[in-house]
Amino acid sequence: MTGRVEGKVAFITGAARGQGRSHAIRLAEEGADIIAVDICEQIESNLYPLATPEDLEETAKAVENLGRRIIARKADVRDRDELKAVLDEGVRELGHLDVVVANAGIMPMGTTNPMDFVDATDVDLIGVMNTVAAALPHLPDGASIVITGSNAGLMSGTTDTGAMGGGGSGYAWSKKTLVGYTEQMAMNLASRMIRVNAIHPTNCNTHLIHNEELYHVFRPDLDNPTREDVIPAFTYFQAMPVPYVEPVDISNAVLFFASDETRYVTGQQFRVDAGSLLRWPNGPK
């Protein structure tokens, strides 16, 4: 099956790299044009490096190489006016908006500054709400909204233990809160046939898990753990014998929810987690 989102326009946040770039490419492969945003600068509390303008340019080139159109702009999901400006431009250029992928997220960790919690919730929760709010005036009946949650955020004893500081707690609280937000938005938009679903990935092969701070969480017994050192611990987290999933595994779920195949599917909490929540329903011990 090809052309599953042919003629649609998708708005994707956090699109400069990682899952967001993968979503843009996967939707473009199936016929969508893209409106892409990313902050493209550092947030002080987030110790691993965030995307750059060059990363966003690479996403744009990848979409264009597939023969699709893209409007790629620097914007901060914490600023609703910035999102609105990009959407106004994107809809003006591309004609309409059919799909929203609220993907942007961070996980500050490793410090004790209370602003870590604030930064995490501002991006991971308020950023999602801003994305949806800015997009809603442009969405027709029958549109699709896809929200990125987190499987770890659904578990106790993972990001909320204090080992990741206030940022980890803010991440976990935001992702848990998005469960209810998804369901409430699904109910409020059901009369317009706009569906709202959340995807909850397990560890995904992106910068969010591949950084020194998270490696230390998984291997506190080592001074300088490497990727090779944490692979067994990452694998232990899943029921299936894999250390993490790939961004395209999440993108395939995004494509499913963006397509008309899910025209009557709304309010779902969809896990792409290699069985981790089944293995650790109350968090790993």
pLDDT digits (tens, 9 = 90+) for 152-182: 878 876 666 666 788 888 999 999 999 999 9
Residue 9 reports pLDDT greater than 60 = yes
Q: What is the pTM of this model?
A: 0.95
Confidence at residue 159, expressed as pLDDT on a 0 to 100 scale: 62
Closest among 237, 207, 236, 211 to 224, alpha carbons compared: 211
- For the chain, give the percent of residues with pLDDT over 70: 95
Choose between 109 and 99: higher pLDDT: 99
DSSP sequence for 44-73: TT--S----HHHHHHHHHHHHHTT--EEEE
Tell which residue, 156, 146, 155, has the closest CA to residue 186: 146
Distance between CA atoms of 180 and 177, rounded to whole angstroms?
Answer: 6
Is 90 exceeded by the pLDDT of residue 260?
yes
Question: Which residue type is seen at 255?
Answer: L
| Domains in the chain: ranges and CATH | 9-206+247-275 (3.40.50.720)
Report, as an integer, the average pLDDT of 199-222.
91
| Cα angle 105, 12, 87; round to 5 | 115
Catalytic residues, which ones?
171
Q: Which residue has the tokens 């400006």?
A: 85
**Position 200 pLDDT exceeds 80:** yes
Higher pLDDT, 27 or 215: 27
